[in-house]
Amino acid sequence: MTSSLTLRAALVSVLFLAAFLGLWHLATSVSGPAADLDPEYAKLVGATASQGTSAMPGPGPVIAKIWSHITNPFYDNGPNDKGVGIQLAYSIARVLIGYLLAVAVAIPIGFLIGMSPLMSKALDPFIQVLKPISPLAWMPLALYTIKDSNLSAIFVIFICAVWPMLINTAFGVSAVREEWLNVARTLEVGTLRRAFTIILPAAAPTILTGMRISIGIAWLVIVAAEMLVGGTGIGYFVWNEWNNLSITNVITAIFLIGLIGMVLDQLLARAARMVTFPE
Amino acid sequence: MTEKFISIEGISRTYPAPGGGVMTVFENLWLSMQRGEFVCIIGHSGCGKTTVLNILAGLDVPSSGTVIVDGQAIEGPSLDRAVIFQSHALLPWRTVMGNVSYAVSSKWRSWSAAEVRDHAQKFIDLVGLTGSEHKRPAELSGGMKQRVGIARALSIEPKIMLMDEPFSALDALTRGTLQDEVRRICLETGQTAFMITHDVDEAIYLADKIVLMTNGPGAVLAEVVANPLPKNRVRTEVHRHPLFYAVRNHIIDFLITRSKTFVNEVKSYDPRNVPVVTPGLPEPSLARGDAEAPARRVANHSH
């Protein structure tokens, strides 16, 4: 029953994909009236004006482009022409560094907030004000204080990833069942051992949920951050290709951003399943 | 008789009432238990039984008064006093072995992993869970979960076992077998046990003494019923004993009527000397002054 459901769902997915590609192809294949131009001038104004074809590519050229990027991801022809693999590697590295810093900060502080009602109340106003700030609003401040665009991008990732983890850790820790804590108390378990053997495993599913939300947000934010700081990264690549008016490359990048985001999310989902316990 | 292994001395528990003032759950509670005794406490919900047990466990503190165990006042939870929780309170991310060995390694911190495992295995075997060591609580039935809870409590070799309605969530058949197990283990090891129950038959089968608590707020210990049934009683036969229904009716009468009216009716109540009664002959109130029955009414508990 489940396997046949999976099979049917896969079939419907393929149908949707085919319909989407078909519509896309139809929408981009119509061409307007071709202007009668001097061939030299036509070269200058480009295909849109001279032949009436759209700058929006059809699925064929995009798939070909994706394939060419996948087969040759790591070429480096100078600052404005690097392989998409290199750009993605820069982005992933920035996300991971900022994200791991956020983990290192958010989980201990979340523990503190979750275990201490005083800290919870005292820090709550700060968290409530800082949490809704768009991470990119920090960018000028980061650039001014850190004076390094690369580190500023990492800081922006850190600041956007920290809140969901902090809030989820604090919630998970404060919601550990009283009866499990009572078990630890009747067994005279010390504070540190209790934190690692009772609270951490009990709160782990909630913490991992926060980590999963954070990695998603970090991956959303890195594209915008790299558009601002420039130089390297998939966000810079998208903006650079927009300046080149290579819509094909922009669409390729969009597709790859989605793919990597899905992989990151699935990794965290798998980790979450590992620490989830049935009751 | 005079050895007091556990001595509850004038404890009370009050909470701030919602509209100001204080709400008294119970006050001036006195009770003592001897080593190796099995005491059940019966009373309606909300009379503060669980609070008494939590105070004994060290999980709660009395608003006033103290509890002395083996010559020492209770100052928080202790490995000497094991608790079997109503909800079994197993750690769901640990296996059966993991749950029991967590307790064992908490008690004997310097033991090697092998020593801990061997010791835990003994108690898993004792409660009849051999072969289920690597199952997680979610894979166990309610009765098996409670067996793990019992194994965990016993494994730390406590001086006292505190049980908060340990069998109330189980079906009648499982409950019966677990009652047998607990009784057997307590008799074999000379365990001192304090248990909360709502089940009158369970109390009569298991307990040496049954403490009757009146309704809260302001609950008091009305009586201690000394169980007149022989020590070698068997669960399947216990209801045929000639004194069984006398005890049972006495307790049920208390729960139905006297638990409400006791505080108003009994003027000469002395909380420090809770009357000990042994049902089986006419009601103590009727028998008072009755020349034929003085022996049945045991003298007030000597403090």
B70 and B98 share one domain? no
Do B98 and B68 fall into the same domain? no
From A230's Cα to the closest Cα of chain B, the distance in A is 46
Q: What is the DSSP string of A106-120?
A: HHHHHHHHHH-HHHH
Positive or negative: CA dihedral A266, A268, A273, A279: negative
Tell me which chain B residues have a C-beta less than 8 angstroms from the C-beta of A272: none
pLDDT at B280: 72
Closest CA to A157 of A96, A206, A208: A96
Identify the domain containing residue B119 by its residue range.
91-157
Cα–Cα dist B114/A129, whole Å: 52
Distance from CA of B180 to the nearest CA of A (A): 25
Using a CB-CB cut-off of 8 Å, the residues of chain A touching B57 are 186
> Chain A residue with minimal CA distance to B55?
A186
Residue B183 is assigned to a structural domain of this protein:
yes
Q: Which residues of A touch B59 (CB under 8 A)?
A: 182, 185-186
Query: Quick one: pLDDT at residue B292?
Result: 40
Same domain for B167 and B47:
yes
Residue B290 neighbours by CB under 8 Å, 6+ apart: B282
Q: What is the pLDDT of residue B289?
A: 42
For residue A186, the distance in angstroms to the closest alpha carbon of chain B comes to: 5
Residue among B248, B201, B242, B192 nearest B37 (CA): B192
Phi then psi for residue B75, to 5 deg, are -130, 70
The answer to whether the CB atoms of A279 and B92 lie below 8 A apart is yes
Is the CB of B138 less than 8 angstroms away from the CB of A277?
yes
B123 and B272 co-located in one domain = no
Q: Does some domain include residue B281?
A: no
Residue A24 to residues A51, A167, B112, Cα–Cα distance (Å): 20, 42, 67
Distance from CA of B215 to the nearest CA of A (A): 26
DSSP state at residue B299: P
A-interface mutation test, from B54, B69, B91, B160, most A Cβ less than 10 A away: B91
Average pLDDT, chain B: 86
pLDDT at residue B301 in the model: 47
If asked whether residues B103 and B70 sit together in one domain, one would say no
pLDDT surpassing 90 at residue A193? yes
In chain B, alpha helices (H):
49-57, 96-107, 113-126, 142-155, 172-189, 200-206, 244-253, 259-265, 284-287
Question: How far, in Å, are A30, A204, B271, B287, B298 from residue B295 at the CA level?
Answer: 111, 62, 23, 11, 6
Give the span between the Cα atoms of A167 and A159, in whole angstroms: 13
Residue with tokens 């989830």: A276
pLDDT above 80 for B264? no
Interface of A with B (CB under 8 A): 179-180, 182-183, 185-189, 197-198, 201-202, 275, 277-279
Q: Which positions in chain A touch B81 (Cβ < 8 Å)? A: 186
Task: Supply the pLDDT for residue A210.
Answer: 96
Q: CB under 8 Å to B232, separation ≥6 — which residues?
A: none
Q: Given strand B192-196, what is the order of strands in its sheet?
A: B81-84, B160-164, B192-196, B38-42, B209-213, B221-226, B276-277
Task: Assess if residue A40 is contained within a domain.
Answer: no
CB distance B9 to B65 below 8 Å: yes
Residue B135 backbone zone (phi > 0: left; psi -120 to 50: alpha; other: beta): beta
CATH code at B66? 3.40.50.300
Position B287 scores a pLDDT of: 42
| Three-class DSSP category at B277 | strand
C-alpha–C-alpha distance, residues A31 and A51, integer Å: 8
Q: B interface toward A at CB cutoff 8 Å?
A: 57-59, 76-79, 81-83, 85, 87, 89, 91-93, 102-103, 106-107, 136-138, 156
Q: Are residues B140 and B183 in the same domain?
A: no
- Condensed to tens digits (0 to 9), the pLDDT of residues B43-98 reads 888 888 899 999 999 999 999 999 999 888 998 899 999 999 888 899 999 999 99
Q: Outline where B156-302 has alpha helix (H).
A: 172-189, 200-206, 244-253, 259-265, 284-287
Residue A52 has a pLDDT of: 64
In a domain, B239, yes or no: no
Q: Which of A187, A188, A277 sits opposite B92 (nearest CB)?
A: A277
Is B81 within 8 Å of A186 when comparing Cβ atoms? yes
Q: Which pLDDT band holds residue B223 (cuts at 50, 70, 90)? A: confident
Please check whether residue B245 lies inside any domain of the structure: no
In contact, A209 and A265? CB cutoff 8 Å: no
CATH code of the domain in which A132 resides? 1.10.3720.10
**Residue A18, domain member (yes or no):** no
Residues A179, B87: C-beta atoms closer than 8 Å: yes
Shortest CA distance from A205: residue in chain B = B93
pLDDT value at residue B303: 44
Angle between helices A247-275 and A234-243 (to 10 degrees): 160
B164 and B109 within one domain: no
Please check whether residue A270 lies inside any domain of the structure. yes
Are B59 and B102 in a shared domain?
no
Task: For residues B44 and B116, state if they share a domain.
Answer: no
A215 falls within a domain: yes
Which band of pLDDT confidence, cut at 50, 70 and 90, is reported for residue B281? low
Domain annotation covers residue B240: no
Q: Which is it for strands B192-196 and B38-42: parallel, antiparallel or unpaired?
A: parallel
- What is the pLDDT confidence band of residue B215, given thresholds at 50, 70 and 90? confident
- Structural domain of A249: 84-275
Question: Residue B301: inside a domain, yes or no?
Answer: no
Q: Are residues B220 and B269 in the same domain?
A: yes
Name B279's Cβ contacts closer than 8 Å, sequence gap at least 6: B225, B228, B243, B246, B247, B249, B250
* Interval B125-162: pLDDT, tens: 988 899 999 999 999 998 899 999 999 998 998 989 99
Q: What is the pLDDT of residues A82-104, one digit of tens each?
A: 889 999 999 999 999 999 999 99
Say how far residue A41 (Cα) sits from the centre of its chain: 43
pLDDT of residue B290: 41
**What's residue B19's pLDDT?**
82
Which residues, in sequence order, are CB contacts of A117 under 8 Å at separation 6+?
A: none
- With a CB cutoff of 8 Å and minimum separation 6, the contacts of B284 are B275, B277, B297
For position B273, what pLDDT does the model report?
79
pLDDT at B302: 44
Q: Do residues B10 and B72 both lie within one domain?
A: yes
The position carrying tokens 């909630």 is A206
The model's pLDDT over A63-80, given as tens digits with 9 standing for 90+, comes to 999 999 999 888 888 888
Alpha carbon distance A244, B18 (integer Å)? 71
* Residue B41 bridge partners (DSSP): B196, B211
pLDDT for res A245: 85
Any domain includes B243:
no
Of the candidates B157, B174, B192, which is a domain's last residue?
A: B157
Last-in-domain residue among B124, B157, B190: B157
What would the two tokens of residue B271 be? 């909380």
**Average pLDDT of the segment spanning A213-221:** 96
Instruction: Give how many domains chain A has, as a whole number.
Output: 1
The CA angle B54-B58-B59, to the nearest 5 degrees, is: 55
Binary contact (B91, A179; C-beta < 8 A): no
pLDDT tens by residue, B235-248: 888 888 888 888 99
Separation CA A93–CA A87 (nearest Å): 10
pLDDT of residue A28: 85
Domain annotation covers residue A30: no
In chain B, the number of structural domains is: 2
Looking at the fold, whether B36 and B150 belong to one and the same domain comes out as: no
Q: Complex ipTM, two decimals?
A: 0.83
- To the question of pTM greater than 0.90 for the whole model, the response is no
Q: Which two tokens stand for residue A53?
A: 């074809």
A278 pLDDT more than 50: yes
CA angle A255, A257, A259 (to 5 degrees): 70
